[in-house]
Amino acid sequence: MSNADKVERRSNDESAPVLVRKAKRWLIIIAVVALALAIFGIVTRKIEQGRLAEWTQKQAVPSVATTLPLKGSGQQELILPAVIQGLFNAEIRARVNGYIKEWRYDIGARLKSGEILAVIDAPDLDQQFEQAKGELSRAVAHMNLAKLTSKRWEALRSSTAVSQQSADEKSGDTEAKVADLSAAKSNLERLNALEGFKQIIAPFDCVVTARKIDIGVLVGPGNQLELFDVSDIHQVYIYVRVPQAYASQLVEGMKTTLTLPQYKNRVFNARLLSTSSAIAESSRTLLVQLIADNPDYALLPGAYTEVHFSLSGNPGVMRVPSNTLFYRNNAVNVAIVGPDQKVTVKKVEIVRDLGEVVEVTGVSPSDRLIQYPSETIGNGDVVKIAEKEHAESGSSAKKAEAK
């Protein structure tokens, strides 16, 4: 072996351990890097899991908007629909059979009591009346003859020319003829009264509200045809049904006001006359009767009107937005957020619905009411209050109250 070969072999023997050491070093570096990456990945996942758990927990607590109730006014106005009726109303019908000969007044006419509305031509009644006169004359003649005959027989009886039985018969015949005369007079008076019914007259001071006949129409008690409808409207009755909750505040003589659609800028005064003293089971309302003067006939029978009652306010009544109410178990409820951010569901009673705002009892001024509460919300649920929404909801409640 030459010296060159020996030198090359020695150098190869010396470089082998160096390569091994370099390879080990890279393996160690790679292992350290892999371990560092693994640790970094584990730590990162732990952090992300923590963040996700924290976000999930935050999302599990709903954010709600709340508002505070406002005190109700010292006085409250109750507005209810009502109907107007005349002080007296009458449907005029014929008392005798006949044909309409003439009518003198049409709808809208104002009449005094006793004025003639129409005249009936009743030929059958006229004939019966004339016949009754003849029967009365005949009854008078028969009675006079019976009296003369009875006197003569009494005179003959004193001379024993006739029997007592014959004299008594003549006396009884006289009494029968007197009775016939009385019956004839009564019949004539009855027919005379019916003759008066040929003129249809106004039963009281009134306005004609309907005319349902014309000349030539057959009328009479048999067909029950209405001739006229009349009403006395110098005063009118107003009938209104008041909810049971307000019945205790209604007293006789109480002052009210009326408004009608056709009179935009006019208010009519009325007073409470009486009540039915009974609550209707179907509607739980009390029928109330009001009376109002109507000198210019502006209040018409059958008209729709709104009655305005001024009632004393309930100190326990609070005004809340209608979006804080929800129904559950056949009751009206609100959801109240406590200092610990926990929810309490509470029943309330509606006193008056004003649209966007509702007057209720059962809440206090410090109760924070959740707006648009969830259907599944329940006692003990934890919520988070959105302060910005809380401020906005409070201002909207005040605006609604001002309206």
Q: Are 69 and 363 in contact (CB under 8 A)?
A: yes
The overall average pLDDT reported for the chain is 83
HSE of 114, CA atoms in CB hemisphere, 13 A: 0
pLDDT surpasses 70 at 276: yes
Listed in order, strand segments (DSSP E) in 104-250 are: 110-111, 116-121, 199-201, 206-211, 218-219, 226-243
Q: Does residue 272 surpass a pLDDT of 50?
A: yes
Mean pLDDT of all residues in 13-41: 72
The number of CA neighbours under 13 Å toward the Cβ of 388 is: 1
Alpha-carbon distance 119 to 64, whole Å? Answer: 79
Residue (of 370, 403, 399, 374) closest to 65 by Cα position: 370
Q: How far apart are CA 166 and CA 81, in angstroms?
A: 82
The greatest distance separating any two alpha carbons of the chain, rounded to the nearest whole angstrom, comes to 219
Read off the pLDDT of residues 353-389 as tens digits, 9 standing for 90 and up: 778 888 888 898 889 999 988 888 888 888 888 865 4
Question: What confidence category does residue 13 fall into, taking pLDDT thresholds of 50, 70 and 90?
Answer: low
The 10s digit of each residue's pLDDT in 37-68 is 777 777 777 777 777 666 555 556 778 888 99
Write out the H or E segment, with its range, that includes residue 335.
Answer: strand 331-337
Contacts of 272 (CB under 8 A, 6+ apart): 250, 251, 252, 253, 254, 255, 256, 288, 289, 290
Check whether 160 has a pLDDT greater than 70.
no
Least trusted range by pLDDT, from 5-9, 28-32, 241-245, 376-380: 5-9
In 20-179 the beta strands, taken as DSSP E runs, fall at 63-64, 66-67, 70-71, 75-93, 98-103, 110-111, 116-121
Does the model's pTM come out above 0.85? no
